[in-house]
Amino acid sequence: MKIIVLAGGLSPEREVSLTSGSLIANALMENGHRVLLLDVYEGIAALPDDPESLFLAKGHYTHCVSETVPDLEALRLRTGNGDALIGANVLKLCAMADKVFIALHGSMGENGQLQATLDTHGISYTGSGYVGSLLAMDKEISKQLFRDVGVPTPAWVTLHTRENDRSKLDKIGLPCVVKPCDCGSSVGVSIVETEEELNAALDEAARWCERVIVEQKIVGRELTVGILHGKTLPAVEIIPREGFYDYKNKYQGTTEEICPAPIPKEIADEAARLTKIGFDVLHLREYARFDYLLDGEGQLWCLEANSLPGMTPTSLLPMAAAAAGISYRELCERIVCGGSVEAGEA
């Protein structure tokens, strides 16, 4: 197959995406496909006379996630692309491919905009459609849906950054967790213990989104459960060496992950059950990952769903797949081929 791996983008998670995209592209070439890794924001200004030559059968892409969130304003200035989310010739090249593997994180890649654009051009792609992507990315909507179908989620309120009245925060109190409504990779997330920290946390979250979630702080073990073509994968326990599972801890190797998570079978079964319910209510498809906290009473609390889980060297979905006997190459192949590949084929 000819496959384009779309990565990068004008998103605070572009570094994570480019790392995921590099590994995915390499795995797909090893599986015998012809692949082009393409930055959806930068695009390719001048195509060669034979654009087919951009699809490589052999090669090796590399990218590493830096410790800090990328400077998007510097990227705008360097490329001259401004706020245009899709770069030159991206859709033209995607139309040439048999499949587009969406390796984007955050922003247009996960909020449904890209999926809707590809749909209107008749371009086949991996992962959830625009509806599921939108529902999962918007934490306010997804938490409302979780609550409606009985998936426990921490109590919350939503603030608009233009609001001056913060009286609704009294419903949550301190300590709490503050996060942008539609970012991933823990970008803009703060754990707040004091009133002084709250103001700084609200300002930080507002940098990334005009709506901010202020959520009840749950103290407990961090777990995540992946799902692939309707089957849940073994739960992973996440243990940061310090602090919480923030952007740096996620991508700089400063976190211990244990898979399968050392939890009782009944809790693992309950996490799998809740994941399937959440997957269905958010209209997700193909694959996703759900994040939980397990409190001291044995109660699971669903924090969010990730419609495009990371595929970096430290990412959790590949780890869970490996524990289920699915190699990284096989995982990529199953995502591309819609689950028709059995373990060991790729």
Among candidate residues 132, 136, 187, 181, the one with its CA nearest the CA of residue 156 = 181
Measured CA to CA, the distance from residue 151 to residue 156 in angstroms comes to: 14
- The number of beta carbons lying within 10 Å of the beta carbon of residue 46 is 6
Task: Give the number of other Cβ atoms within 10 Å of residue 229's Cβ.
Answer: 12
Q: What angle do CA 211, 68, 102 make, to 5 degrees?
A: 70
Mean pLDDT for each 10-residue chunk of the chain (346 residues)?
96 88 97 98 96 96 82 93 95 98 90 96 97 95 98 95 80 94 72 91 83 94 97 95 51 76 98 98 97 98 95 89 96 85 42
CATH code for the domain of 300: 3.30.470.20
Q: Is 133 a catalytic residue?
A: no
Bridge partners (DSSP) of residue 223 are 237, 292
Report CA 103 to chain centroid distance, whole Å. Answer: 9
Catalytic residue, chosen from 129, 226, 278, 310, is: 310
pLDDT of the residue at 303? 96
Count the domains in the chain.
3
15 and 96 share a domain?
Answer: yes
pLDDT attached to residue 255: 83
Same domain, 45 and 88: yes
pLDDT number for residue 124: 97
Contact between 290 and 316 (Cβ < 8 Å): no
**Is 251 an annotated catalytic residue?**
yes
For residues 54 and 96, membership in a common domain is answered with yes
Question: Final residue of a domain: which of 175, 194, 216?
Answer: 216
Active-site position among 22, 306, 307, 315: 306
Identify which of 344, 21, 185 has the alpha carbon closest to the alpha carbon of residue 331. 344
Written as six digits, the tokens of 159 are: 């603030």
Q: Tell me, what's the pLDDT at 249?
A: 44
Q: Are residues 328 and 315 in the same domain?
A: yes
Is 343 part of any domain?
no
Same domain, residue pair 240 and 315? yes
pLDDT for residue 13: 82
List the one residue out of 195, 345, 324, 190 whose CA is nearest residue 259. Answer: 324
Q: What does the pLDDT read at residue 105?
A: 87
- Does residue 116 fall inside a structural domain? yes
Same domain, 224 and 331: yes
Asked if the structure places residue 106 within a domain, the reply is yes
Residue 254: what pLDDT? 64
In this prediction, residue 184 carries a pLDDT of: 54
Residue 306 catalytic? yes
Catalytic residue among 127, 289, 307, 333: 289
The structure's pTM equals 0.90
Name the packing angle between helices 130-137 and 113-120 (round to 10°).
170
Which of the residues 110, 222, 291, 333 is marked catalytic? 291
- To the query of whether residue 310 is one of the catalytic residues in this protein, the response is yes
Rounded to an integer, what is the distance from CA 16 to the centroid of its chain?
9
Whether 210 and 231 map to the same domain: the answer is: no
Distance CA 8, CA 315 (A): 17
Among residues 201, 216, 231, which one ends one of the domains? 216
Query: Same structural domain for residues 249 and 322?
Result: yes
Q: Residue 339 has what pLDDT?
A: 57
Domain-located, residue 139: no
- Side-chain-side CA neighbours of residue 133 (13 Å): 23
- The bridge status of strand 220-228 relative to strand 287-295 is antiparallel
Mapped onto helix, strand or coil, the DSSP state of residue 300 is strand
Beta strands in the chain (DSSP E): 2-7, 34-39, 99-102, 156-160, 176-180, 190-192, 211-216, 220-228, 231-232, 236-240, 255-258, 287-295, 300-306
List the catalytic residue out of 8, 13, 14, 17. 13
Q: Which two tokens stand for residue 154?
A: 């921490």
Token pair in block for residue 26: 């390499």
CATH of the domain at 11: 3.40.50.20
Active site residue 185: yes
- Tell whether 252 and 201 lie within a shared domain: no
In a domain, 345, yes or no: no
Domain span at residue 10? 2-126
Considering 199, 216, 233, which residue would you say is the last residue of a domain? 216
Is residue 163, in this structure, part of any structural domain at all?
A: yes
Burial-class residue 78 by CB neighbours within 10 Å (0-12, 13-18, 19+): exposed
pLDDT at 209: 79
212 and 161 Cβ atoms separated by less than 8 Å: yes
Q: Are residues 119 and 17 in the same domain?
A: yes
Q: Which of the 8 DSSP states describes residue 234? A: P
Q: Is 331 domain-assigned?
A: yes
Asked if 66 and 174 sit in the same domain, the reply is no
Active-site residue (options: 41, 130, 251, 287): 251
Residues 240 and 169 in one domain: no
Q: Which of 22, 31, 81, 185 is catalytic?
A: 185
**Residue 100 resides in a domain:** yes
Q: Say which residue the tokens 């430290």 belong to.
A: 314
Long-range contacts formed by 250-254: CB under 8 A, 24+ apart:
250/185, 250/186, 250/310, 250/314, 251/15, 251/16, 251/19, 251/65, 251/185, 251/312, 251/314, 252/65, 252/67, 253/314
